Amino acid sequence: MSEDRDFEDLVAEGAAVPVQGWDFSWLRGRASEERPPWGYARLVADRMARADTALDIDTGGGEVLAEVPRPPRRLLATEAWPPNVEVARRTLRPLGATVLWVAEDAALPLRDAALDLVVSRHPVHTPWDEIARVLRPGGTYLSQQIRGGTVRELSEALLGPLPPPTRQLPEQAVAAARAAGLTVIDLREATLRTVFHDIAAVVYFLRKVVWTVPGFTVERYRPQLARLHARMAAEGPFVAHARRFLIEAIKPA
């Protein structure tokens, strides 16, 4: 098979895989990413076991929340992307969770001081004022967030050199939490080696993690993908670095 045919087949394969939910199991054997050292799922499980009412914001397909072994009495989840809502409802049905469609930047459909715990993994937007409003005094917000500049190497492979990130920075999250009246009790950062073994994995990742290259389509970026494919054929797997931070805040009693 020619290199051109191999490229076309791989791109077509990566473009055909459904991207609903937040399950990356299709990438197994084709891409890998180091896990943050703090163990977000374990931390969520610990906080959930001690809560009576809890909410997961931007639950995706509910994959992370589904790992909770001891859910609280009342468990809610929100998701902004409609295709994910039905996926999350199926995934979280065994936990008795209620999944709500809530548009980005919309108010949370909950009364004041309704929750002991709010969590969110990789939220698109963190509604700090809303989180502070729905938490009870002494309640907790725990979140693993994507730091600005994540997998920058991959973004620049398609877009060219980029300026330093100015959004989604840990210090901005701390300032926003404090402005909403919350007290930050934990902040940690991690840089995680991320490896792509073929161009199909790159295409699938860019379709799913849409902020890496905004407006990505195979047709629009075919020349850049072809150059990256040739680079990987000559040099081996493409290495980038994901950047994450963990933030935990409480509402003063």
The per-residue pLDDT for range 209-232, each reduced to its tens digit, is: 999 999 999 999 999 999 999 999
Does residue 3 or residue 57 have the better pLDDT?
57
Contacts of 71 (CB under 8 A, 6+ apart): 48, 54, 95, 96, 97
Give the span between the Cα atoms of 110 and 72, in whole angstroms.
17
Predicted pLDDT of residue 2: 47
User: What is the rounded distance in angstroms from the CA atom of residue 202 to the CA atom of residue 7?
Assistant: 12
- Classified as helix, coil or strand, 29 is coil
Closest CA to 102 of 220, 93, 118: 118
Which band of pLDDT confidence, cut at 50, 70 and 90, is reported for residue 1?
A: very low
- The residue among 76, 65, 83 whose CA lies nearest residue 20 is 83
**pLDDT tens readout for residues 69-114:** 999 999 999 999 999 999 999 999 999 999 999 998 899 999 999 9
pLDDT tens-digit profile of 166-186?
999 999 999 999 999 999 999
- The CA distances from residue 77 to 47, 59, 71, in Å, are 15, 6, 12
Round to whole Å and give the CA distance between 88 and 63: 8
To 10 degrees, what angle do helices 222-235 and 199-208 make? 140
| Cβ atoms within 10 Å, residue 108 | 19
**Could you say which DSSP state residue 164 is in?**
P
Residues whose CB falls within 8 Å of the CB of residue 63, separated by 6 or more in sequence, listed in order = 21, 22, 23, 91
Confidence label for 21 from pLDDT (cuts 50, 70 and 90):
confident
